Every structure is written in C-alpha cells, then in structure tokens.
Amino acid sequence: MSAGSALQRNKPIVDYAPEELLIVTVARLLEGIRHVAVGTASPIPGSAALLAQALAGGDMRVSILGSRESQVWSDTGVELFDCAGQGRIDAFFLGGGQIDGQANINLVGVGDYPHQKVRWAGSFGSAYLYFVVPRVILFREEHTRRVFVPKVDFISAPGTSAPNVYRPGGPWALVTGLCLFGFDRDKRRFRLESVHPGHTLEEVRDNTGFDFDIPDRVAETPAPAPGTLALIRDRVAVEVADAYPHFAKRVFGIGRETEAAI
C-alpha cells in the first residue's frame, strides 16, 4: 500500500504505508522523553517509541509491556503502576472506544452502564496512568463519529480534573488515522495540529463528534523522511516483531510464525 504518496506536494515521492506515517507522527510527540511505556495492544505506538529511541541515539528508555526479549521490570503487575506513580514514566499511550472533546476516555462500553448494549474489555490502568504520566498520547486509528463523541457514555478516565486534584499527568495529543490534535489542558479542548496527507479539514470535521479549535492555517502532517523510513524498516520492524509479531508481519512483512510467547 502506498497511500499518501501521490498527494504530497514539494516532497520527494516515497512510498510509505499509512501505519508508517502514524509511527513517525507519534514518534515526534516523544521527543525529549526519557522513558516511555507501551501497552501490549499498541503496535503503532510501540513502533513509534522504538523509532523515537533510535532517533534519540538510544538515549531513551522504551518499556514494552509483555515483550519477552526486553524485560524492564522484575514484576509483571504492580511495578508499572508504582513506577509511574514515582514519576519515572514520562509518556504512555491510551486509546478509547469513545473519546470526547474534554479528552474523557471510555473503555467500558456503549449505552447505560452496567448492562450496556456494547461492552468492551474494561478500563485497565487508564484511570490511574492518565493522572500520573505527564505526556499521555491518545491513539485511535479509526476516526469516526462513533469514536469521537460529544460525551462519552462512561468515563473510564477523565481528561481533566479540578485544580485541587493531584494530577501531574494527562492528555498531551490525540493521533488518529486522519489527523493530529494537541490538547490544551487549560482550555480543556483539543486543537487540530495537522491533517494527514491525503485528508482534509472537512473530512476531520465531518467525522468528529466534538468541537475542537482550528488554527488559522491548518498544517499537513509531515510525511516520513526517507532516512526515517529506512530506520523503521531496517531496525524498528525487527525490534517490534518481538512484541507485535502479527503487526510486524502485516505491515513490514517480517516476523515469526507464532504469536504465543514461551
């Protein structure tokens, strides 16, 4: 697949997968981070973290939960949360079955709780990590009004808190298949930062159920530079295949034959 390539202006024509654009976009949000942790179900954020680490010359710690080759913790449970509570995790990723304009996220379900018509897995660590990790990057590839709603049906974790609530962390940005939003914690609103190549502001507006701020001039999300793409394909793809073998096989065409860790 080579989406985006034909639509880029004033740039060298390089084929890249949409996943690669997202990887590069997310990696850019990790600049200056000392330690980023990534959940098991997050191959694009995971790849982005590994790319950011490669770009930082290795001077960044990446903890991919459930990776069997790079153990970071000596404990498979509590340590991640304690480590975050100590302020030793600078960035983390969260998604959401629903996300609203105040950056509230819903990982529980659609309809009236508890017996909802659609039930998802549950809130996992969101209601804690969203409070204590300084740079939480929301990532959701599907950009539709089904996901980006005016108000979530269930707040797994609130986007903002009252001033007296201890909250060193919170939403930093939202990356979707269409665009990149920043989050303004004071205004409690998203702000469109850039629209991905091949997509338009109108498309973003049509598919977003909440209001957001729009700058006077809407930028285009920069396409991956050739050197960055090479880094992804030569290095990140191999590393990411450990934690996300299916993803690595589908996107990069490499990997193992089995998904089960031994």
Partner 1 sequence: MTSQIIGSDLDDLVRRIPNGAKLAIPKTDCAGAMAATRALIRRKAQNLHLIVVPTSGLQADLLIGAGCVETVEGSGITMGEYGQAPCFGRFVREGRIKLKDSTCPAVYAGLQAAEKGIPFMPMRGLIGSDLAAYRDDYTIMSNPFADDDPIMAVRAIQPDVALFHTPLADRHGNVWVGRHKPLMLLAHASKETLATVEEVREDNLLDDPVYGPATIPSIYITAVAQAARGAWPLGLTGHYREDSEHFAEYMRLAATEGGMVDYLDRHVRRVGVAAE
* Burial grade of 57 (CB within 10 A; 0-12, 13-18, 19 or more): exposed
Give the number of C-alpha atoms closer than 13 A to the C-alpha of residue 257, restricted to the C-beta side. Answer: 0
Which one, 20 or 153, has the nearer CB to partner 1? 153
Beta bridge partners of 94: 138
Alpha-carbon gap, residue 137 to 181, rounded angstroms:
10
Q: If binding is defined by CB under 8 A, does position 257 make contact with partner 1?
A: no
**DSSP one-letter string for 15-26:** ---HHHHHHHHH
| 114 lies in the binding site for partner 1 (CB under 8 A) | yes
Query: Which window, 44-52, 113-121, 215-223, 230-238, contacts partner 1 (CB under 8 A)?
Result: 113-121
Among the residue ranges 16-24, 116-124, 199-207, 221-229, the one whose residues contact partner 1 (CB under 8 A): 116-124
For residue 86, state whether it binds partner 1 (rule: CB under 8 A): yes
Closer Cβ to partner 1, 107 or 137, answer by number: 107
Q: Which residue has the tokens 């200056």?
A: 32
Query: Does 186 help bind partner 1 (rule: CB under 8 A)?
Result: no
Which one of 7-15, 125-133, 140-148, 210-218 is the stretch in contact with partner 1 (CB under 8 A)? 125-133
Instruction: Give how far Cα 29 sits from Cα of 48, 52, 138, 237, 261, Å.
Output: 9, 9, 11, 19, 30
CB of 117 to partner 1, least distance (A): 6
Q: Put residue 214 in one of left, alpha, beta given phi > 0 → left and psi -120 to 50 → alpha.
A: beta
SS (H, E, C) 163-192: CCCCCCCCEEEEEECCEEEEEECCCCEEEE
Does 47 engage in binding with partner 1 (CB under 8 A)? no
Establish if 88 lies at the interface with partner 1 (CB under 8 A).
yes
Give the number of residues in contact with partner 1, rule: CB under 8 A: 65
> Which residue lies nearer to partner 1 by CB, 94 or 180?
94
**Which two three-digit tokens encode residue 80?**
């991640």
* Residue 134 contacts partner 1 per CB under 8 A: no
Stretch that binds partner 1, among 19-27, 34-42, 138-146, 211-219 (CB under 8 A): 34-42
Member of 3, 5, 81, 141 binding partner 1 (CB under 8 A): 81
What's phi and psi for 122, nearest 5 deg? 145, 180
Q: How many residues does the chain have?
A: 262
Task: Tell the burial category of 42 from Cβ atoms under 10 Å away from its Cβ (0-12, 13-18, 19+).
Answer: buried
Q: Which is nearer to partner 1, 31 or 69 (CB)?
A: 69
- Pick from 16, 92, 93, 130 the residue near partner 1 by CB under 8 A: 130
Q: Which residues bind partner 1 (CB under 8 A)?
A: 34-35, 40-41, 61, 66, 68-79, 81-88, 107-109, 113-132, 154-158, 161-162, 164-166, 246, 258-262
